[in-house]
Structure 1
Amino acid sequence: MFNWDDPLAEKPATDKVDNELLPPMQQAANELDTPEPSTASVGELPLNAKAVNADDKRVVNGLADINQLAPFKYPWAWNYFLNANKNHWTPLDINMAQDVHDYRHKLTLEERHVYENVLSYLTTSDILAMRNIGLAVMEKMTAPELQIYQARQVYEEALHTWTYQHCIETIGLDQSEIYNRYRVVPEIYQKIQLANKRLDTVMRSDIDLRDKDELENFVMSYAFFAGIFEGCWFYNGFSPIFALQRRGLMKGTGEQLQYIMRDEVMHASFGIRVCRQIIKEENVKLDPKKIQEMFEEADAAEATYGGYILRDPILGYSKEAHHGQFRFTANRRAKQLGFEEPFPGAEATLPWLDEQANMRKEKNFFETKVTEYQTGGGLKWD
């Protein structure tokens, strides 16, 4: 019998008691434990049941049984799930002792400003990413192999949030001040507000993806989160910490963000592929003007944000380099989505950034031997 007070407690050995004398909640629990007599014969099928045809599956608006995994129509989605499970880690695996010393004794005031505000932005952003996939996107997928990877993605966003909290707690930062900063600093809030607006348009209970306008809006929102929010803002957003890491500072935090970045590369890659698949299957025609406006709006927010966190440049990193890399990355993500480049001619201002995602070798956490780290960083983006 299930113990409602302590689900992990062993079932107590008690004499049989009249169920009607028990409290209502306990009566309900007992009734759940009593099997109902079966009225159906073993193996009975529902009326009009037929075998699932993989060709009937679609990313959205599909006709196949959402509860039946195989046969696959999208084997690549299942491969994302398998690869993601090779990347398992937790923030407790990484030694943060040197970071505590660096923050207190080595970082300049300008470097502390960068470190604190990057964490302030990230703590809220990963929760937004989690809500987008878990509450707005996943329920609309009609092929389970897609949902299964997205379930893993939801877990990873929660893991990332834990990682930022672990860094904040370990360094000894004021949690209330760090977590509330995005609400009182307009330059940080602007990015959060843009994402919230996109999310609000697709989290409505009455959304119908058979409606052309609703479907186009859903694809635009998904493209924003995959291509810009995770593919650009996250990809570019870790780079100020990586700049410190490259100088031998805050190396524990930098390593934490490397593992997060590798997850995010897979998230963006998967989301971009799903968007392209929906566009193909549903013959979606997106307005090029709206796409350009979406990228320009994100670019303006990133420039404002970069200007705030890097109002005073730190050694080896400036707001101009930060903004330039965003535009270069945005062009790549737009092309991967099948869109025109929003910022023609933009060049990489942080040529070392891709190394953080594409590095294939990583030192074992507790050993000195070099092992192969399975990562989405080396995935093809087609």
Structure 2
Amino acid sequence: MQDELVHRKKIYNPYSTEGVNDRKIFGGNPTSMFDLNKIKYQWAYDLWKTMLANTWFPEEVAMNDDKRDYHGGLTAQEKIGYDRALAQLIFMDSLQTNNLIDNVNPYITSPEINLILVRQAYEEALHSQSYAVMVESISANTEEIYDMWRVDMQLKSKNDYIANVYLELAKNPTEKNIVKAMFANQILEGIYFYSGFAFFYTLASSGKMLGSSQMIRFIQRDEVTHLIIFQNMIRTLKKERPDLFTSSLEEEVIEMFKRAVEIESSWGEYITQGQILGLTSEVIEQYIRYLADTRLTKVGMPKLYNVENPMKWIDQYSSFNDQKTNFFEAKVTNYAKGSLVDDF
């Protein structure tokens, strides 16, 4: 199969006669009008409504006690780990905000999917604001954390690898590279982010940095919808364009996941140095392998590692749909505004 170039959609296309049933995830010929009385991909419109219902703002999270914890309650290694984990999240949300708007959405030709990608980009930008609130609440020198992606060579090496797939799409927008970018999204949102979140939940489990952990809970709820967006795009493409999913592509995807597991396991060991209670190198690696298997099975691919989740206790911090109380303040909250269905 020839790897076809994909063209950016026109922002004004009055001569298109494309009907709702002719819509494609990419490679279509849309009018670029948002006629949302006609929907082809109902799962996308349902997600749009869920994402709207999940609207929140960083100012809703109390961060008053985190500065005290950071300067008086954390060990030296916990402070280093906090800074590095936060710097990594800052980079990834910054990258993803630009990537979605400039690099992915221009090639997506379904208006209902355009909507949710724009909403996702807004949420990634909101997460950047959330990290700014976190940094400001704990740091006397905010530039130290914001410059870490440049000066910490292990972080820079990891970031270079993460960005490469998206840069390849920008340089060479082919059908194959668009699909690879969709799988890369599963790795970014479902492995790298989740691994970072686990560090903050580990601190919370010992009663530290509770405001930061609550902020991460809001962010993670958004990331669940982001995972579902790209899972559903991949599954839909498997039905509509099975020719794209060659054995060669699947081999490349498997290698992407294997490499991501290696990189994230090494990063987890780097930020913890074996000095964070509950986060040994073995636990970190097994958790990341579990995450990789979970992301693969969600898009119809076989597991690579067949391991159990060694950190099931994290569920009590990360779940919104099943919990109506704030674990950190033991009072009823109003954050479970939308429900999620991981299927279509």
* TM-score band w.r.t. shorter chain: 0.7 to 0.9
Aligned-pair distance for 1:269?
1.1
Structure 1 counterpart of 2:27: 61
Task: Report the Cα distance in structure 2 between the residues aligned to 1:273 and 1:135, rounded to whole angstroms.
Answer: 21
Aligned-pair distance for 1:372?
6.4
Aligned-pair Cα RMSD in Å: 2.3
Structure 2 counterpart of 1:231: 190
Aligned-pair distance for 1:68?
3.5
Do the aligned partners of 2:94 and 2:125 also contact (CA within 8 Å) in 1? yes
Pairing 1:186–2:153 present: yes
**Cα deviation per residue 1:257-292 (whole Å; 9 max; x = unaligned)?**
000000001101111111222232222124232122
Pairing 1:216–2:176 present: yes
Structure 1 counterpart of 2:336: 373
Pairing 1:99–2:99 present: no
**Which SS does the other structure have where 2:65 is aligned?**
helix
Structure 2 counterpart of 1:311: 273
Aligned-pair distance for 1:250?
0.4
Aligned-pair distance for 1:294?
0.6
Structure 1 counterpart of 2:262: 300
Task: Report the Cα distance in structure 2 between the residues aligned to 1:371 and 1:49, rounded to whole angstroms.
Answer: 45
Structure 1: gaps (5+ residues): 1-45, 208-213
**Which SS does the other structure have where 1:168 is aligned?**
helix
Task: Report the Cα distance in structure 1 between the residues aligned to 2:278 and 2:237, rounded to whole angstroms.
Answer: 41
**Which SS does the other structure have where 1:264 is aligned?**
helix
Task: Report the Cα distance in structure 2 between the residues aligned to 1:105 and 1:254, rounded to whole angstroms.
Answer: 17
Structure 2: gaps (5+ residues): 1-12
Structure with more contact order per residue of length (Cα contacts < 8 Å, sep ≥ 6): 2
Residue of 167, 174, 196 corresponding to 1:200: 167
Pairing 1:136–2:103 present: yes
Q: Structure 1 length as normaliser, TM-score?
A: 0.80
Do the aligned partners of 2:269 and 2:284 also contact (CA within 8 Å) in 1? no
**Cα deviation per residue 1:227-270 (whole Å; 9 max; x = unaligned)?**
11001111221101101112211000000000000000110111
Task: Report the Cα distance in structure 2 between the residues aligned to 1:104 and 1:49, rounded to whole angstroms.
Answer: 60
Aligned-pair distance for 1:119?
0.6
Structure 2 counterpart of 1:274: 233
Paired residue type of 1:291? V
Structure 2 counterpart of 1:89: 56
**Cα deviation per residue 1:122-165 (whole Å; 9 max; x = unaligned)?**
11110111122111111111111101111110110001011111
Task: Report the Cα distance in structure 2 between the residues aligned to 1:188 and 1:268, rounded to whole angstroms.
Answer: 23
**Cα deviation per residue 1:316-341 (whole Å; 9 max; x = unaligned)?**
22232222111001101011112222
297-306 vs 360-369, greater mean Cα deviation = 360-369
Task: Report the Cα distance in structure 1 between the residues aligned to 2:142 and 2:238, rounded to whole angstroms.
Answer: 42
Change (3 A) 1:105 1:266: same
Aligned-pair distance for 1:94?
1.0
Matches for 1:1-382 after TM superposition, within 5 Å: 53-70=19-36, 71-204=38-171, 207=173, 214-225=174-185, 227-283=186-242, 284-286=244-246, 287=248, 288-343=250-305, 345-360=306-321, 361-363=323-325, 368-371=331-334, 373-375=336-338, 378-381=340-343
Do the aligned partners of 1:91 and 1:162 also contact (CA within 8 Å) in 2? yes
**Which SS does the other structure have where 2:147 is aligned?**
helix
Paired residue type of 1:110? Q
**Cα deviation per residue 1:21-45 (whole Å; 9 max; x = unaligned)?**
xxxxxxxxxxxxxxxxxxxxxxxxx
Do the aligned partners of 2:234 and 2:299 also contact (CA within 8 Å) in 1? yes
Aligned residues: 326
Do the aligned partners of 2:80 and 2:271 also contact (CA within 8 Å) in 1? yes
Do the aligned partners of 1:94 and 1:255 also contact (CA within 8 Å) in 2? yes
72-81 vs 189-198, greater mean Cα deviation = 189-198
Task: Report the Cα distance in structure 2 between the residues aligned to 1:47 and 1:118, rounded to whole angstroms.
Answer: 47
Do the aligned partners of 1:168 and 1:175 also contact (CA within 8 Å) in 2? yes
Aligned-pair distance for 1:371?
4.0
Q: Structure 2 length as normaliser, TM-score?
A: 0.88
Task: Report the Cα distance in structure 2 between the residues aligned to 1:263 and 1:86, rounded to whole angstroms.
Answer: 11
Do the aligned partners of 2:127 and 2:219 also contact (CA within 8 Å) in 1? yes
Aligned-pair distance for 1:184?
2.4
Task: Report the Cα distance in structure 2 between the residues aligned to 1:47 and 1:99, rounded to whole angstroms.
Answer: 54
Q: Which has the larger radius of gyration?
A: 1
Task: Report the Cα distance in structure 2 between the residues aligned to 1:304 and 1:370, rounded to whole angstroms.
Answer: 37
Structure 2 counterpart of 1:19: none
Aligned-pair distance for 1:216?
1.4
Change (3 A) 1:380 1:101: same
Structure 2 counterpart of 1:23: none
Paired residue type of 1:198? V
Task: Report the Cα distance in structure 2 between the residues aligned to 1:85 and 1:306, rounded to whole angstroms.
Answer: 33
